[in-house]
Structure 1
Amino acid sequence: MTKLITILKNNRGFLLFLLLLFVVRGSVIDWHPVPTGSMKPTILEGDVIVENKMAYDLQVPFTDISLMQLGQPERGDIIVFSSEKSGKRLIKRLVGLPGDTIEIVNNQLIINGTFANYETLPEKDERIPKMAPDRAPGTYIMESSDDMDPHIMLIDQSKYNAYRNMPPLTVPEQTYFFMGDNRDNSSDSRVYGVAPRSELRGRAFVILLSARHLEDWSPRWERFWKSLY
C-alpha cells in the first residue's frame, strides 16, 4: 500500500493529465476519422473531424446520457449522432428542424414549400477538389436558404438513386432530418428516417488532419485545421 501511494504521488501530474483528457474527450471535444465519402466535398475519406460535444448537451463522459441541454441545433450544422436505426455513428448535415415540412425534388431541397437556393459551380472553382479520387464525378452546387449558410453539395446524375425524390414529410417534434452533402451517395434520413434529439452527440466544426487512406496515406496538408461549414 505504501508503494502504491508513493507511485501515485510521484506521478500525480501525469495522472491528472489522464483524468483531464478523459473528461475533455468524454464531455467537451472528441475526434473521429471519417471512412466514407457521404459528405463529399465538405468532408473527404481520411479526414479526422473534431466534434464540439458541448454544442447541444452536457453529457456524462463516454456515454449517451445528457445531463442538461446547452443549445439547440441550427439548420446547416454538421452533426455527429448515434443512429439507432442504422446501428452506426453518422456525420451528416442538418436540413430539417422539428415542425418543418421537407420535400426533395430531383435532389433539390424544399423547406416548408420554398426551394433552397442553388448555384452550379464552374469546373475550375477553387473550392472543389482538383483531382480524383478527392474530386468525385458529378456536378458541384452551392446550396443555401434564408436560415442555412451556403455550402457545396455534389450530385451525380449518372448513378441510380431511389431517394432523389421524396414526398413531403413533416418532421416530428424533438426530431431532425439529415442529409449528406454527397446527395447520390449518402444513407441518411431519406433511408433511416428522422433522428431524435437524444441521438445527437455534438457539432463537427474543424478538420484536425487528413490523409489519403484509400491510397498511400499521403497527408492532405491543405485540409489540416480547415473549418467546416
Structure 2
Amino acid sequence: MQTDAATASRQRRVLGWLRREALPLLVLILLLTAARSSLANHYHVPSGSMQPALQPGDRVVVDMRAYGWRLPFSTFDLVTVADPLPGEVVVFDSPADGTRLIKRVAAVGGQQVEVRGGRLLVDGRPAPAHVPAVEQIGTRRISLDLAHGGGADLGPLRVPEGEVLVLGDHRGASFDGRYFGLVPVDAFYGRAVAVYHRRGEGFGWRRL
C-alpha cells in the first residue's frame, strides 16, 4: 500500500509540474513559432544572385506582414495588406522546384517589360546608357552586377494583373523569372527589410 501511495504521490507531483511549468513553456514556444511564421523571420542568403545588394552568407530580416497577415504555418493570407512594388526585395518559393528564393521585383501587373543584355526596360523606358551598371526600378536606384554578362533575354511581354516578374541583381548569375516565369502576388512570404549580419563584417543594419 505504501508503495502504491508513493507512486501515486510521484505521479501527482509530475502532473502538477507539467501543468505549472511544461505547459506554459510549450504554449510560449508555439506562440513564438507562430509569430515567426506570420510576423517576422530571417533569411540566409545562399548565393550571389543578388549581388551587390546581397552577398552569399548574408542574414536578412524579412517582414512577413508586408503583403498580408498569414495564417501560421501556411501560405494562406487572412488579410491582404498590399501587393509587392517594383524595386522591393521579396522572399518566395521557386515555381520550378520549391526552393526558397530571394529576388527583386522588376515589374508588376499591367507593365510592359523586356530584358536585353541584362538591362531592364519597363514600359519602353531603357536604363540610362551612361550608367551601365545602374537601373531605376520603381522608386529605387539599383546597382547591378554584370560581370558575368546579362544572362537570358526576355520579352517583350505585358505582365498580367496579379503576377510579378522577379530578377536577380547579378543578372548573369541569377535563376529568376526569365527561367521559371512570373510569380503570383499571393506567393510571396514577405519583404526583405535589411541585412543584419554580413560575413567578415559582423552585425549591422543595411537597409535594402
Identity %: 28
Take 2:204 and 2:151, find their aligned partners in 1: how far apart are those partners?
35
C-alpha spacing 1:162/1:35, structure 2 compared with 1 (3 Å): closer
Flag the structure with higher helix content: 2
Task: Report the equivalent of 1:154.
Answer: 145
Q: Determine whether 1:225 maps to 2:204.
A: yes
C-alpha spacing 1:109/1:160, structure 2 compared with 1 (3 Å): closer
Q: Determine whether 1:24 maps to 2:35.
A: yes
* TM-score, structure 1 as length reference: 0.78
Provide Cα deviations, 1:140-196, integer angstroms capped at 9, x if missing partner: x23214x3311211102xx46551x32301111111000001011001011111001
Provide Cα deviations, 1:51-83, integer angstroms capped at 9, x if missing partner: 101100111112212212012211100000112
Take 1:9 and 1:151, find their aligned partners in 2: how far apart are those partners?
54
The 5 Å alignment of 1:147-226 reads 147-156=138-147, 159=148, 162-163=151-152, 165-211=153-199, 219-221=200-202, 224-226=203-205
The 5 Å alignment of 1:119-130 reads 120=131
C-alpha spacing 1:103/1:13, structure 2 compared with 1 (3 Å): same
Residue correspondences, number: 197
Q: Which runs of 4+ in 1 moved over 4 A?
A: none
Q: Provide the aligned C-alpha RMSD in A.
A: 2.1
Which residue identity is paired with 2:49? Answer: S
Please tell me whether the aligned partners of residues 135 and 143 of structure 2 are also in contact (alpha carbons under 8 angstroms): yes
Return 5+ residue gaps in structure 2 as ranges: 1-10
C-alpha spacing 1:47/1:81, structure 2 compared with 1 (3 Å): same
Task: Report the equivalent of 1:131.
Answer: none
C-alpha spacing 1:184/1:67, structure 2 compared with 1 (3 Å): same
Take 2:124 and 2:38, find their aligned partners in 1: how far apart are those partners?
38
C-alpha spacing 1:151/1:208, structure 2 compared with 1 (3 Å): same
Take 2:127 and 2:73, find their aligned partners in 1: how far apart are those partners?
37
Take 2:15 and 2:77, find their aligned partners in 1: how far apart are those partners?
35
Which residue identity is paired with 2:83? Answer: Q
Take 2:49 and 2:115, find their aligned partners in 1: how far apart are those partners?
18
C-alpha spacing 1:152/1:118, structure 2 compared with 1 (3 Å): farther
Please tell me whether the aligned partners of residues 96 and 171 of structure 1 are also in contact (alpha carbons under 8 angstroms): yes
Take 1:5 and 1:202, find their aligned partners in 2: how far apart are those partners?
41
Find the partner of 2:64 among 28, 31, 53.
53
* TM-score, structure 2 as length reference: 0.85
Task: Report the equivalent of 2:107.
Answer: 96
Find the partner of 2:77 among 66, 79, 90.
66
Take 2:201 and 2:24, find their aligned partners in 1: how far apart are those partners?
35
Please tell me whether the aligned partners of residues 118 and 149 of structure 2 are also in contact (alpha carbons under 8 angstroms): no
Quote how far apart the aligned CAs of 1:118 are.
6.0
Please tell me whether the aligned partners of residues 79 and 204 of structure 1 are also in contact (alpha carbons under 8 angstroms): yes
Quote how far apart the aligned CAs of 1:209 are.
1.6
